[in-house]
Amino acid sequence: MGVRKLIQSLSRRTTAVWINDQNEKGSSLKHKPPQRQRDDRIATTDADNRTSNKPRCLKATIFHNYPLRICVLIGAFLMLLIVKFTIIESFEGADSSQCRSIYMFPSYGRLNGFDLKHTALAQKYHLYLYREQGLDKEPMKDGMAQLDGIPVLFIPGNAGSFKQVRSIAASCSRNYFQQREDIKNPNTRNLDFFAADFNEDFTAFHGRTMLDQAEYLNDAIRYILSLYGHSSDSSTPAPSSVIIIGHSMGGIVARILPTLMNHVEGSVQSLITLSSPHAAAPVTFDGDILKIYARTNDFWREQMQDRDSFFSKNMSLISITGGILDMMLPADYTAVQDIVPLENGFTTYSSTIPNVWTPIDHLAVVWCDQLRTVVAKLLLETADYTASSRLRTLEERMKTSRELLLSGFENYTQHDLTIVNSSISPDNKYAHLSQVGSGINDKSPETSISAIENLENEERSYQILLPKKGSLNLAILASTEGLCISFCKAKYPFDPKNIEPDDSDSCFRGINYMKYAPASFKTTGHASDSSVNSNIKPFQMMNIGNSTLSHYDYVIVDKLPYAKFESNDFFISELTINGIEKSIDVTPLHIATMGLKLELSGKLIETVSFPNVWDSLLSYKVRTHLITKETKELLFQPFVRQWIDDPFESKWHVNVTDFDFNINMHGVAPFIPLEETHDKSLKLAVMTPPGAKLILDFRINWGLTIKMLFIRYRLTFLSLPVSVVSFVLAFQFYRYQEVRVFPSFNNTLAFLLKTKGVYIFFGILFLSPLVNTRLIQKLLYFFDPVRLNRPFLLDERNMHTNFYFLGIRSWFLSGIGILFVLMSIACLFLVAKIHDIAEYFVRKTKLKFSSSKSGSKSPLRNRKIYESWKARIFACIILTFAVLFYIPYQLASAITLIIQVITCLRVLSNAENLNPEKYNNLRNYNFSVFLLLLFVVLIDSPIIVVFLHNVAIRWETPFRSHHNFLAIAPTIFLVNFNSGLKIPGFRSKKTYEGFATVLLLLYLSIFSLIYGSRNLYWIHHLANMLCAWLLYGAYAASLPEE
């Protein structure tokens, strides 16, 4: 009763606004037939206002359109900005691609023996063996493959080709056969690369296709292992597992393999994925994809939690992503921290990987020369031909992966730093660093920095004393690899005044303490200029803290005896006391409004942390100012390492004095699980040459921020328009139930913005922080009809996910929702204007056609070809049976859209045959239904693409999913009803029926707003339920009144 009174009150207020200056108080329109007739004339379209000769109404319509026009202008401007920054503007600096071109000599052999005897999908998919010409063994004359290496299976991604295997495979062959001396692993062997040909299937759009591929690959692995069983060397056991490399969705298919019934136990133990969306499904057009993700992730988590399982003891999962340049898949989605522990896998970025140091786009990640060289080395270093698994142990594989794929400066890699015995010759001549720079003693300052500018002419070793006070930190930067670091402990009590070491002192060599860093000179513009296979040597850098230094008395830096040095090679060391990380307590709001100017102290390596800067939706621009008193040229140009701890993402900005640089990260991201106890802050390590200081000036980079919003919120451009259309439709149907007038879409939207716009936008503004609270998330999950997105699944690990609305976690960006709503309004307004233009041309064409055939009127009721309900019903039945046996219901949805378009055109073309009231109602109703169906079909379109692709390959094979005719039958029959130029309505006096229509539309609007982005496929089902209810209304209206 309360809801009814509220709606009646809304009706009275609505009427007062729509009749323009007519103040009606205390009475309902339906009790005043004359006034209702006036409302019918006023609540019409702009076209009716032009034809009904009512200047006052037209003026009122223009007045009420002001809020709409303002919203449209702002939304259109925002869309232009997105187009400008996403398509026109390119990435700069550390965010630009620097991949080098490659060459290879590929050959592919199709394995015809893998036929229907081995797999039921042999006619749909194929298996190939790659051979690098001139290096790998060619097939024998009888066509049999000569397999004497370690099996590797490449799985292509969405619409990917099996030929993408060639880049990494060629690099492996070249490294093994031509550069064997660079491989440290003595038990490695050449790799036999197999590749699956999926006919470029659209794996990302269709869950059934993912399962088909996984089923095929399990059979393929069994077949591959059987080939080695026949050709295996008798001195080694036959292989029992295959190394997997998956690109894009191929990495997800690889993770599905162990979950299927036909999986060979232990046949998959090593997974390397390239730009694979592990953390979340990249698109949500198909509910099967979400179900497969949930089931696969649950399986992996369960196996990893059991520390005695085969999985936890043997399985490794390494996820590599190209980072910011991947415009097909948000790099945030490649995270695996919620699936596997660090003992079994991690996610790394190509900009992090030493000697790669460049972001890579989604397709180039399989062929980028720098990355494929490192991946090839990883494969060869982790292989073991003597083991049946053909792999080294899990611990060895993970250690090698950390060495090759992480920067080496992460806390996670510190336990890999080892110290071994080092013999120091008594004849060595030591030079205390105070002879070159300033040493640290009881009277010295907190920092000691020393530099050697010409290592080529230096023949001494250098000793760095470690005082026993404070918290020490030692930083070393060198332009060559020819240095060795040894940590020494004095045998007798150490006297700082006696700087000569005793030859009986115990010294230990630090292995892997010196890490690669990109070179930064005036001539370098990008970090990758000194990457692998380049002409510029990278720097060597070390930064160790008190936890290591406190155990020793001094450090010795030696020149390796066989190292080659150049005249410009340098060595710089800096020892600091109590030189802890600097923390800057600044918020994004402060940076956006006031900016941030940060003056550094000029240390060799100065680390700055920003605890409140963690949101990956924001990007920053940093301008540097160099302050130096040196008259001679600096040893190197200042450079910056940007990083976050989780995931392992680093970026190197070189030569920052000549270029501004941008900061963008992939830390806390929408819809991605977040470990709330981990450090999320942005960190910068600034490397400055002696005698120089830097000033950093921070600003928000709004252009890059807008550019990155599009990649993360593409699905929102489908869900939010449905929310707006449903909300407008709810009010249109409410008006129609009250006064039998169906107002136009634009007029209704304008009215809602005029009267309720402030409340709507304030609600959108506070929606993001509201849905980020635990209580509201629990309520939203309770009312979620799908329940495939579980925000508290990993609550015991302090890991939560915000799946609702835009998935935003910060107050500062709450206004983004308003921007997307404005763009949705602008998009819908544009479609409505296109409809108005179509109406204009149809009317003009109709008038010309009628004038040329005077006296040949054809009343609408005489057009039997359109009015034959039997023919329409028969067509609906045929379409329903087609869904049941052959086509997916999404294709039928597209057909209904076409029929609805034809219905709209028929209404426009028969304006003179209908009275103005009926014409306006039909016009406005059918256009609004068209808008709703348009976005539903856009959501369904990926499944349609998959179906048409399958038809192109094997047209006679029925589609293997989405044959639920109940998911489309109501829509089919409602569109059929609409084609009879009628509007469904309830003649019954029961008010709950009209309320039910409004409530259904409001529920669809709220669902699309809050749940839509991560459950797009369910929007189709809700719209279909709405069609079923409207169809019932049409049936109820056709019954005789009691």
pLDDT tens, position by position, 598-612? 999 888 999 999 999
Which residues partner with 637 through β-bridges? none
- Mean pLDDT, to the nearest integer, of 495-509? 65
β pairing state of 270-274 and 243-247 = parallel
CB within 8 Å of 400: residues ≥ 6 apart? 378, 381, 382, 392
**DSSP 8-class letter at 271:** E
**173 is a catalytic site residue:** no
The CATH number of the structural domain formed by 106-406 is 3.40.50.1820
* Predicted local distance difference test score (pLDDT) of residue 924: 95
- Mean pLDDT, to the nearest integer, of 6-17? 41
Could you give the CA distance from residue 822 to residue 70 in angstroms, rounded to a whole number? 9
pLDDT in tens, 557-607: 888 777 778 878 888 988 888 766 889 999 999 999 999 999 998 889 999
**Tokens 């495979």 belong to residue:** 169
**Tokens 């094979």 belong to residue:** 957
* Predicted local distance difference test score (pLDDT) of residue 60: 41
pLDDT in tens, 233-285: 567 888 999 999 999 999 999 999 999 999 999 999 999 999 999 999 999 99
Confidence band (pLDDT; 50, 70, 90) for 862? very low
SS3 of residue 630 by DSSP: coil
Which residues partner with 244 through β-bridges? 153, 271
β pairing state of 126-132 and 430-432 = unpaired
Selecting among 173, 240, 248, 979, the annotated active-site residue is 248
* Predicted local distance difference test score (pLDDT) of residue 422: 55
The CATH number of the structural domain formed by 418-577 is 2.60.120
Highest average pLDDT, of 67-76, 408-417, 506-515, comes from 67-76
Tell which wins on pLDDT, 22 or 802.
Answer: 802
> Token pair for residue 946?
């998959």
β pairing state of 571-577 and 506-511 = unpaired
The angle formed by the CA atoms of residues 717, 718 and 723, to the nearest 5 degrees, is 100
- Whether 584 and 598 have beta carbons less than 8 Å apart is answered as yes
Could you give the CA distance from residue 272 to residue 348 in angstroms, rounded to a whole number? 11
Lowest-pLDDT range, 29-38, 132-141, 358-367, 622-631?
A: 29-38
pLDDT in tens, 651-686: 999 999 878 999 999 989 999 999 888 889 999 999
Per-residue pLDDT at 1038 exceeds 70: no
- Whether 828 and 749 have beta carbons less than 8 Å apart is answered as yes
pLDDT in tens, 870-924: 788 888 999 999 999 889 999 999 999 999 999 998 888 887 778 888 899 999 9
pLDDT in tens, 714-767: 999 999 999 999 999 999 999 998 888 999 999 999 999 999 999 999 999 999
CB within 8 Å of 570: residues ≥ 6 apart? 451, 452, 453, 454, 455, 478, 479, 635, 636
Average pLDDT, the chain: 85
Q: What percent of the chain has pLDDT over 70?
A: 84
- Whether 964 and 286 have beta carbons less than 8 Å apart is answered as no
Per-residue pLDDT at 452 exceeds 90: no
What is the Cα 663 distance to its own chain's centre?
18
CA distances in angstroms from 178 to 136, 147, 169, 171, 173, listed in the order given: 12, 19, 14, 10, 8
> Token pair for residue 816?
């983004």
Confidence band (pLDDT; 50, 70, 90) for 142? low
**DSSP 8-class letter at 285:** S
Torsion of CA 89, 93, 96, 99, to 10 degrees: 150
Confidence band (pLDDT; 50, 70, 90) for 848? low
Per-residue pLDDT at 322 exceeds 70: yes
Could you give the CA distance from residue 847 to residue 865 in angstroms, rounded to a whole number? 22
Same fold for the pair 106-406 and 418-577: no
Could you give the CA distance from residue 324 to residue 91 in angstroms, rounded to a whole number? 9
* Predicted local distance difference test score (pLDDT) of residue 359: 96
Per-residue pLDDT at 326 exceeds 80: yes
CA distances in angstroms from 810 to 587, 771, 802, 806, listed in the order given: 11, 11, 11, 11
Question: How many other CB atoms are there within 10 angstroms of residue 870's CB atom?
Answer: 7
Element (H, E) at 622: strand 620-628
- Whether 489 and 554 have beta carbons less than 8 Å apart is answered as no
Could you give the CA distance from residue 758 to residue 413 in angstroms, rounded to a whole number? 52
> Token pair for residue 592?
């956006």
* Predicted local distance difference test score (pLDDT) of residue 6: 39
Q: Residue 264: which of 389, 158, 147 has the closest Cα?
A: 389
**DSSP 8-class letter at 843:** H
* Predicted local distance difference test score (pLDDT) of residue 443: 40
Return the domain boundaries, the chain: 43-78+713-1038, 106-406, 418-577, 582-705
CA distances in angstroms from 329 to 248, 326, 673, 788, listed in the order given: 9, 6, 17, 21
Edge-to-edge strand list for the sheet holding 682-687 = 582-583, 605-610, 682-687, 639-644, 649-653
Could you give the CA distance from residue 419 to residue 628 in angstroms, rounded to a whole number? 38
- Whether 195 and 216 have beta carbons less than 8 Å apart is answered as no
* Predicted local distance difference test score (pLDDT) of residue 1011: 96
CB within 8 Å of 503: residues ≥ 6 apart? 424, 426
What interhelical angle do 166-178 and 369-382 show, nearest 10? 60
Could you give the CA distance from residue 729 to residue 731 in angstroms, rounded to a whole number? 5
Question: How many other CB atoms are there within 10 angstroms of residue 758's CB atom?
Answer: 11
Per-residue pLDDT at 469 exceeds 70: yes
* Predicted local distance difference test score (pLDDT) of residue 1035: 79
* Predicted local distance difference test score (pLDDT) of residue 35: 40
- Whether 244 and 198 have beta carbons less than 8 Å apart is answered as no
> Token pair for residue 612?
């409140």
* Predicted local distance difference test score (pLDDT) of residue 633: 84
Q: Residue 351: which of 97, 67, 721 has the closest Cα?
A: 97
CA distances in angstroms from 487 to 54, 268, 452, listed in the order given: 93, 42, 20
- Whether 155 and 250 have beta carbons less than 8 Å apart is answered as yes
Per-residue pLDDT at 7 exceeds 50: no
**Is it true that the peptide bond before 341 is cis, omega within 30 degrees of 0?**
no
pLDDT in tens, 949-996: 988 887 666 677 788 999 999 999 999 999 888 888 776 556 677 889
- Mean pLDDT, to the nearest integer, of 418-437? 47
> Token pair for residue 986?
């309830």
**DSSP 8-class letter at 537:** P
Question: How many other CB atoms are there within 10 angstroms of residue 201's CB atom?
Answer: 25
CATH fold of 582-705, please?
Jelly Rolls (2.60.120)
CB within 8 Å of 552: residues ≥ 6 apart? 466, 487, 488, 489
Amino acid at the residue 677 = T
